[in-house]
Amino acid sequence: MLAILGLIVVPLIRELPLGQSTRTGLLAWVLVGLALYWLYAGMGYRPLLLLQLLLFSGAAALLSTKLLLVAADVHRLTVLRYAARGLILVGAGCAMSNLIAMLLLLWRRSRPGTPAHGRRT
């Protein structure tokens, strides 16, 4: 899912004739959807997924606020975009660590001769 997001969705968002805050806001909402999907599917470590969802939702809320302020002709609060970008980067770090943990767990379970996680022999 992260590979699809990186290879298809991000270049598509970049090609849209939108401003920087709008593109980053769309990316934040897509990441919120991805975090919700992972949470619903039971993929990954649940507390880390909840933190990831909180970070991405916070970034999406900040960018939505920025867009509403721009619509109200307030153009000077770029700190909202920078804070949202920081939240997205921290959330992406959580997503990568969650993905690495899922891959390690899959690798441990697929090795022959080792007991499955949680079982005692």
Distance CA 77, CA 17 (A): 21
- Strand, helix or coil at 111? coil
pLDDT of residue 12: 67
What is the per-residue pLDDT across 13-54, written as a single tens digit (0 to 9) for each?
A: 667 666 766 777 777 888 888 888 888 888 878 888 899 889
- Residue 78 is which amino acid? T
- Residue 120 is which amino acid? R
C-beta of residue 26 within 8 angstroms of C-beta of residue 13 = yes
Which distant-in-sequence residues (6+ apart) come within 8 Å of 96 by Cβ? 2
Distance CA 89, CA 70 (A): 23
Per-domain residue ranges of the chain = 2-110
pTM for the structure as a whole: 0.71
